[in-house]
Amino acid sequence: MHTSMNLKKLAEERIVKDDNVCEGKARIKGTRITVSDILLSLSEGMSQQDILRSYRGLMNEDIEAALAYAFCQSDGIKLNIGSAFDDGELEETSPVKLEQDQEFTQALEQQAAIQEDLTKEKIAEIKANKSKKTKQPLLQETKDPAPQTRPYDLLIDISGEPKTKVFANTDDFEQALDMSLDNYVFEKRADNKPWLCYSSKKGIDIDQTMKRNLLVTYSHNGLLKKAIFEGYLTTDRQHKIFIQRDEEQTCGRVL
């Protein structure tokens, strides 16, 4: 488990800021990928593997550094974030090298533009495929057609996640929680087994502002199932929580 000092060190080693690069935003060293780009992707439900595929050259340690930076900022831990010029990632431009630097910068910008175009093209392709799948046959036209809304915001598949933990407040639900490893608060069920209520360690909780309605594919008794869940991130951005509620029970899964 990371300590505050380890998180501080990780952020300072991999995060840089320069006034003339990415509008001075905190970014991953050696890239134009900002911390906010990574945090936004995580908040939208993307897994680390999805993010690594979306941003070429990004490493798992970079994602951890972005989370460490966000933690330190929110916890008031002072960071010594350097410039890319400090360690030789970038060099001060001299008159002799000006033309070479301009050509190099232009090449980087062209590469970034190509990457952005590919990303937009991929997003458009995904939207087009989703539209084809959800398109319904034409019905007989009526005077006042009722608007149709989708009951979920995102699709997510957690059926292959080996560390998924299951919880429920009903006796007939067999849980798969490891009490020794999870940093959560539990309550007693009717059969005296504990079940998860919410995360609570050093001020960590379920972030209600990050709520999304998700159509989740999950594994149960060896079978794949789908259901609508409330999706949340914990405030430390280390865990995803999926909760399903009805009048009789509350159950869900934690990653």
For residues 19 and 66, the answer to whether their CB atoms sit within 8 Å is no
User: What are 193's two structure tokens?
Assistant: 């087994």
Domain with CATH 1.10.10.10 in the chain: 4-92+102-122
The conformational region for residue 47 under phi > 0 = left, psi -120 to 50 = alpha, else beta, is: beta
Please give the pLDDT value at position 211.
81
Q: 98 or 12: whose pLDDT is higher?
A: 12
Q: What is the rounded average pLDDT of the residues 215-228? A: 81
| Joined tokens for residue 153 | 């915001």
Q: Is 51 exposed, middle or buried (0-12, 13-18, 19+ CB in 10 A)?
A: buried
Determine the pLDDT at residue 32: 87
Q: Is 153 exposed, middle or buried (0-12, 13-18, 19+ CB in 10 A)?
A: middle
Q: Which residue has the higher pLDDT, 254 or 89?
A: 254
pLDDT band at 62 (very low <50, low <70, confident <90, very high): very high
Q: Which of 7-11, 45-49, 110-114, 196-200 holds the top average pLDDT?
A: 45-49
What is this structure's pTM? 0.38
What digits encode the pLDDT tens for the residues 91-129? 444 455 556 656 666 766 776 677 677 777 777 887 787
Fold exhibited by the domain 4-92+102-122: Arc Repressor Mutant, subunit A (1.10.10)
45 or 242, which is more confident? 45
Per-residue pLDDT tens over the stretch 156-173:
888 777 777 887 888 777
Contact indicator for 233, 210 with CB cutoff of 8 Å: yes
